[in-house]
């Protein structure tokens, strides 16, 4: 699977993230001759256990963080941060959890936007909003290098691409592109990239966005 870097736009001090930032970033992609290839969506959810009888102690995770990708509709990924685990499941697990009424969906962040092709790179730009609202939490950027699946072998190349994108964006915007990279080794994820790596990145970004104050 090709390596993906997940980034976000950090505005300059005194400014806030807005929908116009996404418009300007998309313009920067198109100015690099990016060709729009469609839309994309990722949903990241926070599940919490349903406590019916406080006297009955049931062993279960206090929090489950789950991710669904429009590009992998048959899979669902759980991240258990205290246990440093990323687990792949069938997408039907969501309806099973709902029917068993063990966990409830406490909160969902929807990442959505447009994707572009730039030679061997596949780039996505979108917004992160709380589901069923227009509460904008941040602007998400994803860079994918199609020919290689090794994190180590692509690191310099990915950084150079992000630096170029930053230079182009800086011509009309104030702020910077930040790569938020979790420690994959802590979760026993290897150098060979996988959907588990992507799930951990999106969960890390969701947690980061939710920790930020919004106006």
- Among 40-44, 77-81, 100-104, 141-145, the range scoring the smallest mean pLDDT is 100-104
Distance CA 62, CA 44 (A): 17
3-class secondary-structure state, position 201: helix
Of 209, 156, 160, 151, nearest to 180 by C-alpha is 209
Both structure tokens of 68: 């669904």
The string of pLDDT tens digits covering residues 175-201 is: 999 999 899 999 999 999 999 999 999
Q: pLDDT grade, residue 54 (50/70/90)?
A: low
Which residues on adjacent β-strands are paired with residue 113? 40, 126
Distance CA 82, CA 62 (A): 10
Both structure tokens of 171: 């011509």
DSSP type of residue 159:
H
The string of pLDDT tens digits covering residues 8-18 is: 999 887 678 88
Distance CA 54, CA 52 (A): 6
The pLDDT score that the predictor gives to residue 135 is: 87
The string of pLDDT tens digits covering residues 33-49 is: 999 999 999 999 988 77
Share of the chain above pLDDT 90, in %: 71
Of 157, 123, 149, nearest to 25 by C-alpha is 123
Residue 57: pLDDT over 60: no
């Amino acid at each position: 699977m090709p390596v993906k870097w997940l980034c976000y736009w950090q505005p300059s001090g005194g400014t806030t993230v807005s929908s116009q930032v996404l418009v300007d970033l998309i313009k920067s992609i198109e100015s690099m001759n990016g060709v729009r290839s469609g839309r994309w969506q990722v949903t990241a959810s926070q599940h919490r256990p349903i406590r019916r009888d406080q006297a009955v102690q049931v062993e279960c995770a206090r929090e489950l963080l789950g991710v669904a990708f429009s590009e992998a509709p048959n899979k669902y990924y759980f991240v258990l941060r205290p246990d440093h685990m990323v687990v792949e499941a069938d997408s039907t697990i969501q309806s099973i959890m709902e029917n068993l009424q063990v966990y409830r969906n406490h909160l969902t962040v929807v990442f959505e936007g447009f994707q572009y092709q730039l030679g061997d790179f596949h780039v996505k730009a979108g917004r992160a909003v709380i589901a069923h609202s227009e509460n904008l939490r941040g602007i998400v950027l994803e860079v994918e290098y199609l020919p290689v699946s090794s994190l180590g072998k692509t690191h310099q190349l990915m950084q150079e691409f992000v630096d170029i994108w930053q230079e182009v964006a800086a011509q009309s915007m104030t702020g910077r592109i930040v790569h938020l990279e979790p420690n994959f080794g802590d979760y026993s994820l290897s150098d060979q990239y996988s959907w588990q790596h992507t799930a951990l990145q999106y969960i890390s970004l969701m947690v980061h966005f939710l920790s930020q104050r919004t106006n």
